[in-house]
Structure 1
Amino acid sequence: MIDLRPVLYTLGSLIVLLAVGMILPMIVDLVAGNPDWQTFAIAMCLTALIGGMLMLSTRGSGDNLNLRQAFLLTTGAWAVLPAFAAMPISFSELDLSFTDGYFEAMSGLTTTGSTVITGLDYAPPGILLWRGLLQWFGGIGIVVMAVAVLPMLQVGGMQVFKVESFETVEKILPRAAQISGLISGIYVAFTALCMFCYMLTGMESFDALVNAMTTISTGGFSNSDSSFGKYDHLGTDTVCLIFMIVGSMPFILFLQVLRGRPLALWRDEQTRGFLALVLFLCVSVTIWLMVWKSFTLEEAFRYGSFNIISVLTGTGYASTDYGQWGAFAITLFFIAMFIGGCAGSTSCGIKIFRFQVLLKCMRSWMERMVQPNGVFIARYNGRPIPDDVRASVMNFMTLFLVIFLLLSLGIAMTGEDWITSLSSAGTAMANVGPGLGDKVGPAGNFGGLTDMAKWLMSFGMLIGRLEVFSVLVLFSPRFWRA
């Protein structure tokens, strides 16, 4: 049997850290005179108590995790932490059920951005800050996991980054913990810079703080029901657009830039592909809005670029109801939500590198068909693509599609129409935020779904955020055998 003590000890420490995170929204509500500070105080004490008990009961179990323990901890942390994070939300003056609270917390920690809350403009400040903190914590958590855990687990082709994460950088920084610490520093610096830029555009300091945390984490929780439509400012939209793109690029490469390799970002094939896609989508949507919707150049670029990149990066902000732009826009946005940003970023979706690996492998296969005696080697970032990476990418994309279809069917069985079902499943697995249609589109939210649909979506968020295999491997009987 698996020794659960190291897993429980690490999980307990994460729960304690979550409790510490509740202090700030508690103070904010206390200063604002909102009674929800008591809710945060009780939730903090209960969370710290349970986390502390787990740590004390398993102390001395060792810090090293084997492969199976790493799989179990990865899934367990993202499944259990939302249950504790949901307590302040469920018992606040918003008067939400635990299902709604868990959905909101899962959406926060997985940086999905789907919400069940209405009246955000009048919600308690502590709750608004807590939602932002959850996405901020989830963003840095997924970056560290992508650098230190997923390559080791060889999930969905992520092993292709093991060399870059632990050989290139390890020459300077010998331990993964040091790398993770420095990446966390970069993450904090980007958040502070984003907040400062928001304030320069006229945004109030509290909104700037929360939006900075949810922008750099590509999470998308905002302090208003109208999302970024509340600000309706070209400068604010531009700042957000820039930092959504920053948050969707590999943070390990920002570290390499700081360590004296200024061209590291440009030399990375994944980053170049992502920026090329961003440029293509921005130009395409801008031209389409000008030609077919009679937008001015400024309006077309501002609304078109902002919203398509928000969906592509999995951020999920909306500055207007793009669901009213017609069938072409809905189809394009639906496709873009699955693509995502770069591996090693806070972004979500299938990830750019998997499409690149797939296309390169298809190209080499077609070349061999034309010239059977030729030698054609598919390369990624100058290195041959190993067979296990090809198989992992193909398996990942196939399984992602199968689960998406099953999840869509499950949501449809709760009574939802096909647009709501497909887009809800897609936005959950791709961790995007808003869906499509009148009910769950950018002008709506997910509060009207049944409890069963919300639990299905919560599972979809979890499995999408953890790259599918990290979760599904736990359902294998062989995993639990000695």
Structure 2
Amino acid sequence: MFDLRPIFLVSGILLSSLGAAMLVPGLYDLSMNSEDWKAFAGSALVTLFIGVSLTLANWGQSADLSIKQAFILTTLVWVELVSFAALPMVFSKLDMSYTDAFFESMSGLTTTGATVITGLDGASPGVLLWRGILQWLGGIGIIVMAISVLPMLQVGGMQLFRLESSDTSEKILPRATQIAASITGIYVALSLLCALFYLIAGMNTFDALVHAMTTIATGGFSNHDASMGFFDSPAIDMIAVLFMIISSLPFALYLQAMAGRTGPLWRDSQIRLFLFFIVTFVTIMWLYQMAQEISPPGLAFQRAAFNVVSILTGTGYATTDYGLWGPFAIVFFFVIMFMGGCAGSTSCGLKTFRLHVMMEHIRTQIRLQLHPNGVFIPRYNRKPLRDDVIMSVMSFIMLFFICFVILALALNLLGLDT
């Protein structure tokens, strides 16, 4: 008989953590004399009650999960956390429908960054802080899932990283929980460092904290309708670019660097390809703006760097309307938004390692066509790629675009402009 108790145990622990997190914006609203503290307090009580009940009812069960249980858990956790995370926004002064609140919380926890809220500049500080917390929690959740869960499930070629991390020479910490705890420490440290840089560059404390959380999570939520354009600061833009790039690199390699092994961080194939993409795409957009006389050289570079990195990493911050730059810019940004950052980061998209595997596979097939009797082996990080990894990656990419086409058609049928 299929045992659901380990799933309920983990779900209860995560719900309890979410409920505790709701108390933070609630207390902040209370200190700022905002009535929305009641919405957070009530939502926290409901979430904590259900979370603690699930935890206590299943306490003592083994937390070891089978592959089937892990599949169910990863699906269930996202849905249940989003469902409860929406409650404070429903009962806040924003007076959102549950559908809109669910969308907003889903966008936050998945670090998508799309929003249905207008008038952010006038929203209660607790709601703005909650949006930042959701993206921050979603970012660390994505990293932990990418390192601990997806390799076991062999999703989209992620088994490649299970093989690497199981090698004795590559292993830093023996248990997944220890790895997750160490990565969380790095995540917190980067968030605080980013907030400090924003403060120095001119943001107030609240804006610096919230934008640091959404920058490190590569989520893109902002406290202002104008997003990063609200600050109109080259220094803030470049700080955001730096930390968006840092957050799009594999966090597991930061662990190795902290252990004194910096080599893998500089030699990793996907990191080198990702940085190559950034340099190439920024240069193209910089030259394009100057050729079209859209911006002077200095401003053109600033806008190119910020918008390319923001879209490539899936963050979604905006400082200007690049749609006014012409058809080439629109198509260019549309293409690079699919790519994403590195596996094991907070970034979204296809991920650079999958693009690298796909390019290696295509290159090998072309060489085989030209030299039928040759022996050509696709490699990743100088190691041969197994056929099952290549097949998993290619299947993931195909499924990714099939889902995109289906969703685009569905939205078009609902009246959204093509």
Residue 283 of structure 2 aligns to which amino acid in structure 1? V
Which residue does the alignment assign to 2:204? 204
Aligned to 1:221: 221
Deviation readout 1:263-317 (Å, 9 max, x if unpaired): 2211100000000000111111111111113411111011121012101100000
Q: Which residue identity lines up with residue 351 of structure 1 in the other structure? A: K
Measure the CA separation in 1 of the matches of 2:308 and 2:95: 34
Q: Aligned-pair distance for 1:213?
A: 0.3
Matched, 1:90 2:90: yes
Instruction: Give the TM-score, by structure 2 length.
Output: 0.98
Does the aligned pair in 2 maintain the 1:315–1:347 contact within 8 Å?
A: yes
Provide TM-score, normalisation by structure 1: 0.85
Counterpart contact for 1:166–1:176, Cα < 8 Å:
no
Provide the C-alpha distance between the structure 2 equivalents of 1:4 and 1:369, rounded to a whole number of angstroms. 50
Residue number in structure 2 paired with 1:131: 131
Counterpart residue type for residue 212 of structure 1: A
1:290 match: 290
What is the Cα deviation at residue 404 of structure 1? 0.8
CA distance in structure 1 between the partners assigned to 2:48 and 2:268 by the alignment: 42
Residue aligned with 1:338, SS: coil
Other structure's SS at 1:225 match? coil
Q: How do residues 9-408 of structure 1 correspond to structure 2 at under 5 angstroms?
A: 9-167=9-167, 171-408=171-408
Structure 1, residues 455-475: CA drift from partner, whole Å, max 9, x if none?
A: xxxxxxxxxxxxxxxxxxxxx
By how many angstroms is 1:38 displaced?
0.7
Cα deviation code 1:126-154 (max 9, x no counterpart):
00000000000000010011111111100
How far apart are the structure 2 equivalents of 1:375 and 1:121?
61
| Structure 1 stretches of at least 4 aligned residues deviating more than 4 Å after TM superposition | none
Deviation at 1:165, TM superposition (A): 2.7
CA offset at residue 170 of structure 1?
Answer: 6.2
Distance 1:58 1:350 in 2: 37
CA contact (8 A) 1:343 1:353 kept: yes
Query: 2: distance between equivalents of 1:8 and 1:409?
Result: 36
> How far is 1:166 from its partner?
3.2
Bigger shift: 143-152 or 58-67?
58-67
* 1:322-374 CA distance string (max 9 Å, x none): 12211111101111110000000000000111111011111111112222221
**Is the CA contact (8 Å cut-off) linking 1:2 and 1:68 kept in structure 2?**
no
2:159 and 2:241 mapped to 1: Cα distance?
30
Give the superposition deviation at 1:60: 2.5
Q: Which runs of 5+ in 1 are unaligned?
A: 419-482
Count of aligned pairs: 418
Q: Cα gap change, 1:170/1:176 in structure 2, threshold over 3 Å: closer, same or farther?
A: farther
CA deviation string 1:162-197 (max 9, x = no partner): 123333576431111111111110000000000000
Task: Measure, in 2, the Cα distance between the counterparts of 1:271 and 1:156.
Answer: 18
Matched AA of 1:264: P
Which letter maps to 1:258? Answer: M
| Alignment CA distance shift 1:105-1:169 (3 Å) | farther
Q: CA deviation at 1:106?
A: 0.3
Q: Report percent identity of matched pairs.
A: 52
Q: Compare relative contact order (CA 8 Å, sep 6+) and give the higher one, 1 or 2.
A: 1
